[in-house]
Structure 1
């Protein structure tokens, strides 16, 4: 995967010296994944500075059906997922590092997304959008009912045992569809994530389709 960079013309030589490359077809600067050890050097040009997680260019989206908690209207709910990703952290010397996390997870409590991921969600999943939750008194990217527009809160989708994205059996996990979409440049996200047997069940028993 490659990470798009926003490099002003006056800083192009500096960016090139730090591993950035120029795509003449799209007229975009980018950092190839095989140079991600240089992420701290190009951090000033990352287009979404408040998104400390870099996802693969092959994005995974988990889909499932669940009735609205308020009006009981049938809904499709989604979660952005990944089989591996890079996460910004600070080491013991107070230096910025980007750690490769090599496990499958679904992201929740999503507070920020890069522009390319926002546009993708608007086109493919318009009912997954930024909203304010009166329950948590916070704003985040979340599922909304297609009928009454009520937020389908992350707690009820991810955290309750046997909720739609927290299956406790192979049969429950089999109701989830994992779809893959190809991006030209890596999307970025600021979100929480979890570990656990429910994610293993999803990777083993969820239905999977080919890349779109």
Structure 2
């Protein structure tokens, strides 16, 4: 697995000296070994105090919601992460290691940025998930839309309310979900609205987990 870096032309000699490799097709520098990621903290954080790395794969999580506008049931999606790292700035936080790895429990997030463009195209065409304007927050963001009337299905009502499809509080809640594991060719550096709950272990234990191949996902 490889981690793509957002290294500028001026940084090329430095990242090469640290052990990064050049991919001429993608025109990006990358790190070959996970054990070397810590050497490249400045290029992973890109000026932020914290970020995340998703390793190997992520999940598309499918649920159903009643549209507030047309009152019809519509399919909605969330994203799941299982193998990931939290990366923090050692100059800001008191830490023994700027990278902490996590695995084994699936956590639900509303969105993952920096995924391959082919995945976003697939989600828009198949599941009405795309970037659009929300009057509620007066901004654009990637969101679910009703498959019948195209109304935006706000993230708060999908992920934060007790009766929302991605709020997992019991075995029965988890059993309603279908998860599709999507393999990644490269590890992904991403910002996440990570929601870790004490009941997240139920997702892997009780949800329906499948594999899916998305064209151009690599």
Return the TM-score normalized by structure 2: 0.78
* Equivalences for residues 1-212 of structure 1 within 5 A: 1-7=1-7, 11-23=11-23, 28-32=28-32, 33-43=34-44, 52-91=51-90, 93-94=91-92, 97-102=98-103, 103-108=105-110, 110=111, 113-114=113-114, 116=116, 118-126=117-125, 127-212=128-213
**Greater mean alpha carbon deviation, residues 54-63 or residues 24-33:** 24-33
Matched residue, 2:216? none
**Distance (Å, rounded) in 1 between the aligned partners of 2:194 and 2:183:** 22
Contact 2:7 2:43 in 1 (8 A): no
When you count strand as a share of all residues, which structure comes out higher? 1
Residues 166 and 10 (structure 1), Cα distance of their counterparts in 2 relative to 1, 3 Å cut: closer
Q: Can you list the C-alpha shifts for 1:181-200, whole angstroms capped at 9, x where unaligned? A: 11211234323121224422
Residues 50 and 176 (structure 1), Cα distance of their counterparts in 2 relative to 1, 3 Å cut: farther
Gaps of 5+ in 2: 214-218
What secondary structure is seen at the aligned counterpart in 1 of 2:133? strand
**Distance (Å, rounded) in 1 between the aligned partners of 2:6 and 2:190:** 17
Residues 51 and 182 (structure 1), Cα distance of their counterparts in 2 relative to 1, 3 Å cut: farther
CA shift at 1:69, angstroms? 2.0
> RMSD over aligned Cα, in angstroms?
3.0
Residues 58 and 196 (structure 1), Cα distance of their counterparts in 2 relative to 1, 3 Å cut: same
Contact 2:85 2:100 in 1 (8 A): yes
Contact 1:51 1:113 in 2 (8 A): no
Contact 1:55 1:189 in 2 (8 A): yes
What secondary structure is seen at the aligned counterpart in 2 of 1:22? strand
**Distance (Å, rounded) in 1 between the aligned partners of 2:172 and 2:153:** 23
What secondary structure is seen at the aligned counterpart in 2 of 1:156? helix
Contact 1:2 1:184 in 2 (8 A): yes
**Distance (Å, rounded) in 1 between the aligned partners of 2:84 and 2:43:** 18
**Greater mean alpha carbon deviation, residues 142-151 or residues 2-11:** 2-11
Number of residue pairs aligned between Structure 1 and Structure 2:
206
